[in-house]
Structure 1
Amino acid sequence: MRLHVVDHPLVAHKLTVLRDRRTPSMIFRQLAEELVMLLAYEATRDVAVESVQVETPVATTTGTTLARPRPLVVPILRAGLGMLEGMTKMAPSAEVGFLGMARNEETLDIVTYAERLPADLTGRHVFVLDPMLATGGTLIEAIRFLYERGAERVTCICLLGAPEGVARLEEALGEHDVDLYLAAVDERLDERSYIVPGLGDAGDRLYGLAE
């Protein structure tokens, strides 16, 4: 696994506003979208491309387009949906699938409750969207699920990560080709497995349930 923490003033600024408990849901959603776009810019730096001939108003030239099969963007329901718009703005020709996984707050086990993906992911570069990498359980199960479907490569984009989750991901997925992009790695997890200092429950804040 390769960890990439995006060190950029705009990333740090937007993350700081997201952390602020006073930031309303509407602004939270907007900033989350903008932050995802910045992270996606870095995460797609080596996406597969191919040459294409285009006619400009002046001449014929060789340009670049995303190679086929197109990248597949997979938000983890529900909070990952709040990242989808920012990702597809950066890669509008990418295809979109959905994977519903949730953590049982009592047992911390990961439960898969929904999926809408191609049956065969052979040759596909899959971008997984999940705001918070806490214990790592959800991402580990999602990545395993995608590789079992034949994915060639998986890139994960999260707003925040905890050291415990990053370490667990690396330990559990050492045999897989995985890139992880984060805006920051925070201090630790608390007794409820929330990221500290974190930004609270990203799903609740995205959809106004925390207000």
Structure 2
Amino acid sequence: METHVIDHPLVAHKLTTLRDEATDSPTFRQLADELVTLLAYEATRDVRVVPVTVITPVSPAVGVKLASPKPLVVPILRAGLGMLDGMMRLLPTAEVGFLGMVRNEDTLEASTYAERLPDDLSGRQCYVLDPMLATGGTLAAAIKFLVDRGADHITAICLLAAPEGCARLEADLASVDVPVTIVTAAMDERLNEKGYIVPGLGDAGDRLYGVVG
């Protein structure tokens, strides 16, 4: 597993405003959208392409286009939905699948409650969207789910990550024999006793969509 923390002043600037508890939901959604597009630019460096020749107004030119099968973007519900538009802006021809996972706040373990994905993901590159890599349980379960369906290359895009979550991913995915890359805007200090990232930015789902009882 590889982890890339994106060191860029625009990434840091947008993340700082996301962290601010005074940032309202509409502004939070807009900034998260913009930040994801910046992260997606780095995350797609290994997207598969094939050569293609086009005719310019002057002469033929050799370039590339996205290879088949198309990349699959998988937001983890519900907070991952807030990252989808920013990702699709960069990969508009990608296909989208959905994976609903919930973390038990007592055991911190993740379980799947909904999915809308192809049964066979053989040969597919998958881009998983999950704002917070905290304990790592949800993301590890999601990656295993996709690998079990045949995905052979997985990149996860997270707004924030914690060292404990990355360590758990390393351990849980030790037997996974496909490339896994984590792309994040920052590696924060630690988790608190409730499993939240410190300093973090709070609950990403609540800040995106409001508190749902």
TM-score range, shorter-chain basis?
over 0.9
The CA deviation at 1:175 is 3.3
Offset, 1:63: 2.0
Residues paired across the two proteins, number:
210
Match of 2:201 in 1: 199
Distance 1:175 1:62 in 2: 40
How far residue 164 of structure 1 moved from its aligned partner, in angstroms, is 0.5
2:113 match: 113
TM-score, structure 2 length as denominator?
Answer: 0.95
C-alpha displacement of 1:62: 1.9
Match of 1:170 in 2: 170
Give 1:10-49 correspondences, 5 Å limit: 10-49=10-49
Give the CA deviation at 1:171.
Answer: 1.3
Matches within 5 A, 1:86-97: 86-97=86-97
Q: 1:130 deviation in Å?
A: 0.2
CA distance in structure 1 between the partners assigned to 2:58 and 2:48 by the alignment? 28
Post-superposition CA distance 1:31-58 (Å, at most 9, x none): 1011101111001011110112223333
Deviation readout 1:3-60 (Å, 9 max, x if unpaired): 1000111111100000000011111001101110111100101111011222333333
* 3-state SS, counterpart of residue 3 of structure 1: strand
| Uncovered stretches (5+) of structure 1, i.e. residues with no partner | none
- Aligned-partner Cα distance in 1 for 2:53–2:203: 47
Amino acid at match of 2:210: G
Report the residue type matching 1:54 in the other structure: V
Deviation at 1:110, TM superposition (A): 1.1
Report the CA distance between 1:72 and its aligned residue.
Answer: 0.4
Aligned residues with identical type, % of pairs: 68
| 3-state SS in 1 of match to 2:200 | coil
**How far has the Cα of 1:104 moved from its partner?**
1.3
Matches within 5 A, 1:59-208: 59-176=59-176, 177-208=179-210
Q: Give the letter aligned to residue 72 of structure 1.
A: L
Which consecutive segments of 4 or more residues in structure 1 shift more than 4 A? none
TM-score, normalised relative to structure 1: 0.96
